[in-house]
Structure 1
Amino acid sequence: MKVSMGVHQLKMEGPYLTALRESNDIREDAAALQARMEEDGYIFIRGFHDRNQVQQARSEILNQLHQSGRLAPDADPEAGLVGPDNKSAFLGGTNTDKPAFLELVNSPRVMNFFTNYLGGAAATYDYKWLRAIATGGSTDAHYDIVYMGRGTPNLYTLWTPVGDTPIEMGTLAILLGSHRWEHVRSTYGQMDVDRDRTEGSFSRDPLELIEKYGGRWATSDFEAGDAIFFGMFTMHSSTVNVTNRIRISCDTRYQLASEPVDGRWIGKKPRAHETALEAPLKTMAEAKKEWGLA
């Protein structure tokens, strides 16, 4: 099987790409999960969410996308066929107009899991990063800390595909071992995109990172209900959506309620990024030279 990442076609179980390791066998064992996170930099669980809740959220989002013209106008919205303009949609925010979606990512099932994993009452950001990715869309490699590092570093991203999502639709990919790249963590990983007015993507070339730092990308086919979570210093990207169906997924964040929170992402109207749209922005190429990473 060939997988599209960036401009490359990578062979599954080849030198650059492998399958994610599942952790269903230790789902209820917080200590084992934390050890697995330390080892792998991520936790992948099949059936993490209730499948019916995922399908309800998907239908809700697809109907809104259809009304906004993002889907093929003459097709059933449930098919999720990309519209004639082939436009992706970023639906970030509190998403109060999507109650089924919020019930999914804020459910007792999710919050209780993170309370057990974290060893104390869990909290989630009010801002949700919900995306609908059209044909050809993908995500560049990055650490999440550069976008939300003003609170606790012990924050976790949960990536949820909203519906059955095979690799060819654009699935999340983890760069194995990247959470232990100390020089990258101490330079790029200390950056704040707003404070430093620097672009956040670390690389647009998935093979460049392997050639410089080692490791291997890992991904999988996902079914409705599956999810993966990881820490702020795990390098991740996505495969390219090479289908004619829109990929719906969301990134949601969880932490101990007792620890500091990045105020940009909480409240009824989170202020979000402060300077991201203002020029000039320092390029990552410029920043890497300053950090000795070029």
Structure 2
Amino acid sequence: MLTSNGYVLDERRLGELVAVPEQERTDLPVLRRRLQEDGYLLLRGLLDPQAVLEFRRYYFELTGGASDRASYRSVLFEQIVPGPEYAAFCGLLKGWFERFLGGEPFLHRRKIIRQTAPGENGIGTATQAHYDLVYLRGGSDQVLSAWIPLGDCPVSQGGLTYLERSHHRVLTEEAAGTLKRPAVSITADLPALADQYDASWLVTDYSAGDVVIHTAHTIHAALDNASDVTRLSTDIRYQRAEEAIDARWQHDWHDRDGL
């Protein structure tokens, strides 16, 4: 049984997140067409698993000594987020984006680390259903997000789930002006949204080194962590440097930054 924010996902509305086949990994036209059609690219082993695990160790070495919530937040927002280790890790994807975008890539400074402890559930704990453009109105709508599990992340640990081909409907309704909401999530009720879109939530077991690239119009959310291991992940955003850039995202992430 899979849940998100306490809502039980309907097994009839579940599907498999499909990885890009090995033979397509270096074929840029095919990759771009796949992203346009599916709204995401699941790239197995794009990053060196050891680099991922080393960053995970670094994170928990620093946060493990925090004795309370205030101490944890201080370490996270004053040391890890603005630190050179995090910047170097996120920069590992620059070469891939340079090739894929066909130009100089720009990494948004606001990069987010998400930690979910075992057993955390109920509305407000897991990332609710949304598409990224509602938070990035000040720049190009061609921003691409990279979601990176920082360690192995089986479905039970609560990784990201994507609403099948949802970006097509979002693009249509954005063009019609009917989806220009303020910067808020769509809903925590994933089962109801799947029925509304007549679509499945796509899930998979992730391994350290896997990366999912998704468009700014693709609806996604997180599952609850039903395992006994803390889930750690980061989501970062690249775009072509020559396109309009949302200035609000050019500061280090903080959970009180209002975005």
Q: What are the residue-to-residue correspondences of 1:1-294 with 2, within 5 Å?
A: 2-10=1-9, 14-25=11-22, 26-69=24-67, 91=76, 95-97=81-83, 99-107=84-92, 110-135=93-118, 136=120, 137-181=125-169, 182-183=172-173, 186-187=176-177, 189-193=179-183, 200-266=184-250
In the aligned structure 2, how far is the partner of 1:141 from the partner of 1:90? 28
Confirm or deny: 8 A CA contact 1:132 1:246 kept in the other structure.
yes
Identity of aligned residues (%): 27
3-state SS of paired residue (1:190): coil
Confirm or deny: 8 A CA contact 1:44 1:229 kept in the other structure.
yes
TM-score with structure 2 setting the length? 0.86
- 1:219-252 CA distances to partner (integer Å, 9 max, x unpaired)? 1111110010101110000111112322110110
What corresponds to 1:78 in structure 2?
Answer: none
RMSD over aligned Cα atoms = 2.7
In the aligned structure 1, how far is the partner of 2:151 from the partner of 2:202? 20
> After the TM superposition, which segments of 4 or more aligned residues of structure 1 sit over 4 Å from their partners?
87-94, 184-189, 269-276
Structure 2 alignment gaps of length 5 or more: none
3-state SS of paired residue (1:228): strand
* Deviation of 1:89 (Å): 10
Q: Residue type of the partner of 1:38?
A: Q
* Deviation of 1:141 (Å): 0.2
In the aligned structure 1, how far is the partner of 2:204 from the partner of 2:253? 33
Confirm or deny: 8 A CA contact 1:44 1:227 kept in the other structure.
yes
* Higher RCO (C-alpha 8 Å, min separation 6): 2
In the aligned structure 2, how far is the partner of 1:264 from the partner of 1:131? 20
Confirm or deny: 8 A CA contact 1:157 1:232 kept in the other structure.
yes
| Higher radius of gyration, 1 or 2 | 1
In the aligned structure 2, how far is the partner of 1:171 from the partner of 1:251? 12
What corresponds to 1:289 in structure 2?
Answer: none
Q: Structure 1 pair 157/104, CA: closer, same or farther in 2 (3 Å)?
A: same
Confirm or deny: 8 A CA contact 1:152 1:260 kept in the other structure.
yes
Confirm or deny: 8 A CA contact 2:17 2:202 kept in the other structure.
yes
* Deviation of 1:190 (Å): 2.7
Structure 1 alignment gaps of length 5 or more: 71-82, 194-199, 277-294
How many residue pairs get aligned? The number is 248
* Deviation of 1:7 (Å): 3.0
Q: Which has the higher helix share?
A: 2
Q: Structure 1 pair 261/38, CA: closer, same or farther in 2 (3 Å)?
A: same
Q: Residue type of the partner of 2:244?
A: P
